[in-house]
Amino acid sequence: MSSSPAVSVAVSAPTQADLLDFVRRTAADTELVSSLPLDPEGRTWVRLEGPGGSEAWLIGWPPGTGTGWHDHAESVGAFITATGELKENSLAARLPADGWKTLELSDGVDRERRLPPGKGRAFGRHHVHEVLNESPDRHAVSVHAYYPPLPQIRRYSRSGPILRLEQVERPEDWQ
């Protein structure tokens, strides 16, 4: 009686490029994007099956809504606008991961991106940003993917150059 050796299949973690490719392909699925229920008052979302065990979301943004300043901790990610237009404000600076409540930001760290349909970006760990729909009358829809699945989101307040850690959310807070 012979036995065959066990075959181990290693699945590699999705890269930022893999996540960006996934959100691009998903945002191009007009049937999926148009199936998202939109609420005039608040953001809506549907969880999607992301590549390689990643966490993915289809998110609807009513006019005038945004995320506030936050990061995705140890996760890398990507997002793209499917309909409407979003704006991303981000910091071009790596912040300490832990051990602080208030930081004074240096001059020149602010970045702004306009993201019309089909435009998006990938980002690395500890990327601090806010995403906004500044339209006065038009919803936006976007696709997001993160790997590893979000262990936490840190939320910040900002007053001029002062960034203050306000809250740490865990997955059970937004399921």
129 lies in some domain: yes
CATH of the domain at 131: 2.60.120.10
pLDDT level of residue 5 (50, 70, 90 thresholds):
low
Beta carbons within 10 angstroms of residue 148's beta carbon = 16
167 lies in some domain: no
Among 42-46, 75-79, 151-155, the range scoring the smallest mean pLDDT is 151-155
Q: Is 19 helix (H, G, I), strand (E, B) or coil?
A: helix
| Of residues 155, 174, 152, the one with CA closest to residue 165 | 155
What was the pLDDT predicted at 126?
Answer: 85
Torsion angle of the four alpha carbons 107, 114, 68, 96, in this order, in degrees rounded to the nearest 10: -40
| Of residues 143, 112, 107, 108, the one with CA closest to residue 24 | 143
On whether the CB atoms of residues 99 and 41 are closer than 8 A, the answer is: no
**Domain of 83, in residue numbers:** 16-89+112-151
Provide the residue type at 168 as one letter.
Answer: V
For the cut 80, the answer to whether the pLDDT of residue 4 exceeds it is no
Cα separation, 85 vs 96, whole angstroms: 31
11 lies in some domain: no
The pTM is what?
A: 0.89
CA dihedral over 93, 99, 161, 66, signed as positive or negative:
positive
Number of domains the chain is built from: 1
| Of residues 145, 162, 130, the one with CA closest to residue 25 | 145
160 lies in some domain: no
User: What average pLDDT is seen over the chain?
Assistant: 91
Q: For a pLDDT cut of 90, what percent of the chain falls above it?
A: 80
61 lies in some domain: yes
29 lies in some domain: yes
For the cut 60, the answer to whether the pLDDT of residue 2 exceeds it is no
What was the pLDDT predicted at 151?
Answer: 86
156 lies in some domain: no
45-100 per-position pLDDT tens digit: 999 999 999 999 999 999 999 999 999 988 999 999 999 999 999 999 888 767 78
174 lies in some domain: no
